[in-house]
């Protein structure tokens, strides 16, 4: 852990979205250093799924601005309501720009002026756009503020971005990936330590897109297990980074996995997979078929290997073992144990995909729609 040295003592930080998670951790780290912390957050009362409320503080002149507030919705263009698009652009892009604009006059008077945006490097590989264009545009908007303002105020204000190398255990991450995803995450302390390292640098340190682990290595941190939620477990790489990019690119290829030999229709008549598909058959109806419009093929390996399908495109829908009656729009390849967890609501497709437990070939928009089916099934499994 990066030790406090008191270098932020007496300075005033304005942090957005700091009632929980990373923003709160940065606020507490700075407060421990003797800084005055002003927090802006939307939550005035505790939310049952998102604990934490607004902290209040006396108005101070501002030395450091941390733009942490963010909204996320990982859906494709046709599945993202404009209300969600407006929310993400409003919070991520407009909110960051507006808060910076209003704080800059104060920052120009500071002896240690910093703007720190919690946003990623500008990785323009299409893979980071195709499945959630609206979110990527909104998040990259924060990064573009860094790119522009760092040059505009070079020599006067340090403007930088900070992004985690791995997934961080937060309420938002649990909502995306379920409770189990925490075992593949680091805790928020790595981000607060990284932010602390950045905010102690001179104003000449500007225009950087910083990864938490990389800057902490320069500060002498060698043991990163101290930040792991479950030391020893494989860590989930975060979005927009080359490591994660390579993982997703590999998963985009068709992967051949051995399946049970012989007639899979006759062989797969019992067990957890067959039971799951019996439930799926009971859930299918014309409304689901109409709203989904996709044919899914599942190549399952492991203890209950086999080929299965769900047709949510034709008639009233159908499901069973073997090849689908028509060409599949989406082919999902995974271990049979993970398949059971996924349909029981214990493993979300998005996180299974990012962690390498799920290979997807075909229409990613339809793959995301599977979550609707799973949410309907969860109470029956």
Task: State the virtual CA torsion across 12, 18, 23, 29 in degrees, nearest 10.
Answer: 50
Give the separation between CA 178 and CA 172, rounded to whole angstroms: 10
CA-nearest of 308, 296, 298, 295 to 269 is 308
Residue 40 β-bridge partners: 16
Query: Which of 55, 97, 135, 196 does the annotation list as catalytic?
Result: 135
Residue 156's alpha-carbon distances to 15, 42, 61, 101, 104, in angstroms, are: 20, 30, 16, 14, 10
CA-nearest of 236, 15, 10, 219 to 117 is 15
Would you call 135 a catalytic residue per the annotation?
Answer: yes
Q: 289-294: which pairs have CB atoms within 8 A and are 24 or more residues apart? A: 289/313, 289/314, 289/315, 289/316, 289/317, 291/369, 291/372, 292/366, 292/369, 292/372, 292/373, 293/366, 294/329, 294/330, 294/363, 294/366, 294/369
Task: State the virtual CA torsion across 286, 80, 237, 67 in degrees, nearest 10.
Answer: -150
CA-nearest of 322, 350, 158, 161 to 248 is 350
Give the separation between CA 225 and CA 88, rounded to whole angstroms: 33
Contact (CB, 8 A) for 80 and 134: yes
Place of tokens 């957005």: 16
Catalytic residues: 135
């Amino acid at each position: 852990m990066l030790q406090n040295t008191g270098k932020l003592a007496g300075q005033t930080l304005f942090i957005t979205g700091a009632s929980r998670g990373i923003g709160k951790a940065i606020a507490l780290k700075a407060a421990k250093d003797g800084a005055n912390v002003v927090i802006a957050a939307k939550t005035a009362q505790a939310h049952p799924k998102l604990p934490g409320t607004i902290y209040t503080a006396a108005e101070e002149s501002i030395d450091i601005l941390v733009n942490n507030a963010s909204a996320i919705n990982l859906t494709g263009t046709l599945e993202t309501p404009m209300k969600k698009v407006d929310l993400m652009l409003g919070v991520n892009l407009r909110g960051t720009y507006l808060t910076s604009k209003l704080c800059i006059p104060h920052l120009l008077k500071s002896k240690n002026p910093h703007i720190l945006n919690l946003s990623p490097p500008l990785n323009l590989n299409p893979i980071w756009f195709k499945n959630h264009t609206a979110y990527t545009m909104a998040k990259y908007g924060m990064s573009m503020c860094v790119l522009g303002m760092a040059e505009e105020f070079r020599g006067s204000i340090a403007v930088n971005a900070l992004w985690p190398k791995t997934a961080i255990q937060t309420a938002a991450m649990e909502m995306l990936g379920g409770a189990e995803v925490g075992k593949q995450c680091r805790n928020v302390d790595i981000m607060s330590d990284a932010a602390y390292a950045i905010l102690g640098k001179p104003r000449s340190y500007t225009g950087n897109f910083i990864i938490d682990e990389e800057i902490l290595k320069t500060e002498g941190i060698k043991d990163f297990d101290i930040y792991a939620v479950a030391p020893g477990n494989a860590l989930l790489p975060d979005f927009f980074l080359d490591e994660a990019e390579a993982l997703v690119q590999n998963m985009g290829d068709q992967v051949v996995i051995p399946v049970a030999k012989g007639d899979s229709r006759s062989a797969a008549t019992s067990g957890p997979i067959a039971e799951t598909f019996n439930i799926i058959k009971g859930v299918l109806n014309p409304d689901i078929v109409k709203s989904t419009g996709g044919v899914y093929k599942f190549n399952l390996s492991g203890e209950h290997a086999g080929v299965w399908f769900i047709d949510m495109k034709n008639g009233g829908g159908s499901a069973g073992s073997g090849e689908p009656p028509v060409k599949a729009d989406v082919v999902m390849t995974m271990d049979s144990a993970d398949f059971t967890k996924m349909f029981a609501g214990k493993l979300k497709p998005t996180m299974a995909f990012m962690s390498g437990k799920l290979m997807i070939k075909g229409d990613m928009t339809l793959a995301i729609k599977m979550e609707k089916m799973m949410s309907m099934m969860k109470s029956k499994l």
